[in-house]
Amino acid sequence: MFTGIIREIGTVARVERLRGVVRVTISAPKTAGRAQRLDSVAVNGVCLSVVAVRHDALRFDMIPETRTLTALGRLRRGDRVNLEPSLLVTDRLSGHLIFGHVDGTGVVAARRQHAGELVLTVRVAPVLRRLLVPKGPVTVDGVSVTVGRALTRSTFTIHLIPETLRQTTLGQRQAGEAVNLELDYFAKLTRQFLTEIGRSAGAARRPAHSARTRAHRR
């Protein structure tokens, strides 16, 4: 589990295509210094297991599903990535609860620099957009941010303060680039609960309707 508070920006040192997996080596002295094999680390918001620690670098294996459902399949040598080690039980919750299970990707549609902030507009699939609300939480490339008020049917905005730009890679995102998105878990849980209630109510009504129809036909 994570909070979306980035602890280090790592640099992709190597990308290897092996049988069935892609192995990524990321240079990250601070994170490597505290990580052990099989630890979970969020890489641009995606929970990956450490397969090896070598000096100041971490190695991760990505299966095809990870590369398909996230933007990590586009990583190249020299790319910078947001890193967050998994939480300890005693850690403070500074952002919001994140699982590292990316719901999908969005695309940066526009970026606007204002005094004291950078505003990114992100285009997203409608099925994901419906779970976003103004002032609600969202995770973009592993960073816990707040949804802005300018929402449309297919876009949302985030407002980035200078400190976020210094501590993460979001300020480097240009129009047309993909970002990983994880939506608020409680919003997803609520939607699933209401959907199941609707299905149950519909199923309960159908037999009565069928009975009335049969009686009418007789």
67 pLDDT more than 80: yes
Give the pLDDT band of residue 29 (cuts 50, 70, 90): very high
Distance between CA atoms of 108 and 178, rounded to whole angstroms? 6
User: Does residue 158 sit in helix, strand or coil?
Assistant: strand
- Which pTM does this prediction carry? 0.87
Give the pLDDT band of residue 20 (cuts 50, 70, 90): confident
Q: Which long-range contacts (CB under 8 A, 24 or more apart) does 170-174 make?
A: 170/118, 170/120, 170/140, 170/141, 170/143, 170/145, 171/118, 172/80, 173/108, 173/111, 173/120, 173/141, 174/108, 174/111
217 pLDDT more than 60: no
Structural domains of the chain ordered from first start? 8-85 (2.40.30.20), 104-188 (2.40.30.20)
| Per-residue confidence (pLDDT) for residue 76, from 0 to 100 | 97
The torsion angles phi and psi of 16, rounded to 5 degrees, stand at -115, 135
- What is the tens place of the pLDDT at every residue in 94-120? 889 999 999 999 999 999 999 999 999
189 pLDDT more than 90: no
- What is the tens place of the pLDDT at every residue in 121-171? 999 999 999 999 999 999 999 999 999 998 999 999 999 999 999 999 999
| Higher local confidence (pLDDT), 55 or 181 | 181
